[in-house]
Chain A
Amino acid sequence: MEEFLQQFINGLTVGGIYALIALGYTMVYGVLKLINFAHGDLFTIGAYLGFTLLTSFGLADKIGPFAAIAVLALMVMGLVAVIGIVLERAAYRPLRNSPRLSAVVSALGASIFFQNAVMLIYGARFHVYPQNLLPKIALNVFGLYVPFVKILVLVASVAMMVGLYVFIQRTTIGAAIRAAAIDQGAAKLVGIDVNGVITLVFVIGPALGGLAGLMVGLLYGQIKFTMGWLYGLKAFTAAILGGIGNIPGAMLGGLILGVVEALGSAYISIAWKDAIAFCVLILILIVRPTGLLGERVAEKV
């Protein structure tokens, strides 16, 4: 039982990161019906920007670790959001009215561009976040061992997801995003600035992806320019699992994927971990082709 709970928590941490990245996929898909394949690389850029900011300013020494990480998170989110806007302007907006396939090819191209840009700027070697930045406290709950950083990551990702959900459901701007997701033409007719909405989507999605990158850096330390591919693939799977285009679905899909992976490797076989996770995905898609929450919510965002 103890081992089960420990594995469950291991899975939730990984799943929280998958979910944060999955939000970016799902929001862009909801509004543009486009899979943003460059999203995983925005995640990598977030991790690298966090590394640069952390090591070059020495913020942690000046204002303490927690304030430093809060400032850092805001800076990384802001910068990655700017890259997201540029990406949309340069790679997606010119193809808005072209066949959908052209935009997908453009997305793949952007992904390759970002990956190589990071490699050329930072080099092909690993980079390692400074150690001992955060206090190494561990909570010991009934013999379960949970490091403090993990709790921080999990809490931050859940807070971000809930915040986003409330923003989309309760605010006027959120309503505008939902309207643009349902019908762009009709949204324009009632006076919604659809281009503005799309820009906003490319601010929120990449910002969350960048934040996930920073979290991975803080949690595992090691970052490399190819890391976005695997995380992107897993997050994309999570988005589909939960029902692509649906925000609670992306959160649920991410958490489920993380937990299934952890439990699969614990009780079946580590080597078959990914196979188990993808089998679960296939089974769910057979039963519910639109994903877990794909149908229940009528308005997709």
Chain B
Amino acid sequence: MRRLGFVLSLLGCLLFVLGGMCTARAGTIKIGLMGPMTGSWASEGQEMKQVLDLLVEEVNAAGGINGQKVQLVVEDDGGDPKTAALAAQRLVTQGIVGVIGTYGSSITEATQNIYNEAKVIQIANGSTAIRLTEKGLKYFFRTCPRDDEQARVGVKAIKKLGFKKVAILHDNTTYAKGLAEETKHLLEKDGTVKIVFFDALTPGEQDYTAILTKLKSANPDGVFFTGYYPEAGLLLRQKKEMKWNVPFIGGDATNNPDLVKIAGVDAAAGFYFLSAPLPKDLPGKEAKAFLKKYAGKYGNPPNSIYAVLAGDGFRVLVKAIEETKSTDPDKLADYLHNKLKNFPGLTGTISFNEKGDRVGEVYRIYKVNEKGEFILQQ
């Protein structure tokens, strides 16, 4: 008799658990986040997660999307294409509607086809390489601008600073190489600025003195480095140690406060970089309210614009699900491509064109001041 009672209660438990699982499945909308939680870009990924955690909390506190709660499924791409492909495969098997991310272009590129084949909406937040949206992928979007736009602003900055001879250095990643080549192409077409140096370094190393010595012998007026902030920080620091006072301009991947930490304040001072407006310079009312809330929860406002752009990706996806009252990827993609117009995002108004690129919104030029702060240049 006791055994029968035990078996019955066990069955009861099982039913309860299964039932719970079923209602959970029907009642939640799963949205993925793929970001670099570890690896050299970990500070970007961890902030992306903080932004999305906050937004998910907000949406759920307001009753969810059409009465359904949102659940965030986070996978780490490690800032590495191979890890990212595995992360993408794990995400698509978990029934997510869409995925936000990721930061690096070559990482995003490794996952684009996986999501597209699984019909999962992907909204990248930091991947600016041109060719990502030139493939005709129906479910791919991005909230960040593109590198042809960035190269145009880069050329403008180079000419404005009066460089006659410029050196271009990239790091062979999809993003950095694309930006470097686009800039080179525009400069050659323009014809007034001479390119005296064009080569790539190996990211992840620590000694770049050999490269700096070679750069110095090319005697440029300025150097445009299109890679990421860990290397940019080391370059600035070692350039200072060499007592070489050439101005450096960086692409938008050098936009991270860790740059100043790595380089040291005095070596970073005077460094120019291109970027979408920083969180602190975001003008909109929505942005100000969000930044305040974020600072309230985590103690400091977000450092990286890409984390906020990830937040915008999440918000447009939520908007699309709300408006279409559906989680059908075709309907959502159609809504985002054609019907979403001038959505009030945290980083300005958002609309997508037929390729999935964000329209409007220009790059700005920033300069690091003597205190290591990023100052918007007019």
Contacts and interface: CB of A to CB of B under 8 A. Distances in A.
Interface string B216-239: 010000000000001001100110
Interface stretch (A59-67, A106-114, A124-132, A243-251): A124-132
A261 B262 CA distance: 24
A128 B199 contact: no
Given A6-B213, A216-B206, A221 B42 contact: no
A216 B207 CA distance: 9
B168 to A, nearest CB: 12
B10 interface: no
Contact of A126 (B237, B242, B262): B262
A181 to B, nearest CB: 32
Nearest to B41: A124
A113 to B, nearest CB: 15
B233 A270 contact: no
Nearest to A147: B241
A221 B262 contact: yes
B261 interface: yes
A222 B262 contact: yes
B99 to A, nearest CB: 21
Given A119-B38, A125-B42, A270-B201, A222 B206 contact: yes
B19 interface: no
A125 B43 contact: yes
A300 interface: no
Chain A, interface residues (CB within 8 Å), range: 35 or more
B39 A226 contact: yes
Contacts of B37: 124
B39 A266 contact: no
Interface in B210-268: 210-211, 213-214, 217, 230, 233-234, 237-238, 241-243, 258, 261-262, 264
B28 interface: no
Nearest to B266: A131
Contacts of B242: 145
A297 B262 CA distance: 44
Contacts of A262: 209-210
A169 B241 CA distance: 39
B46 interface: yes
A265 B211 contact: yes
Given A124-B46, A224-B40, A226-B39, A7 B204 contact: no
A124 B38 contact: yes
Interface string A1-32: 00100110011011000000000000000000
A220 B214 contact: no
A219 B237 CA distance: 11
A262 B207 CA distance: 10
A7 B211 CA distance: 9
B234 A220 contact: yes
A273 interface: yes
Contacts of B66: none
A271 interface: yes
B226 to A, nearest CB: 13
Contacts of B209: 10, 13, 262
A242 B209 CA distance: 25
Interface in B3-24: none
B18 to A, nearest CB: 35
A275 B344 CA distance: 49
A136 B242 CA distance: 11
Given A3-B213, A7-B213, A131-B264, A136 B230 contact: no
* Residue among A14, A132, A222, A271 having the largest count of chain B Cβ atoms under 10 Å: A222
B172 interface: yes
A10 B215 CA distance: 14
Interface of B: 37-40, 42-43, 46, 172, 199-202, 204-207, 209-211, 213-214, 217, 230, 233-234, 237-238, 241-243, 258, 261-262, 264
10 contacts: A3-B217, A10-B213, A124-B37, A126-B258, A128-B261, A131-B264, A136-B241, A226-B39, A270-B214, A271-B200
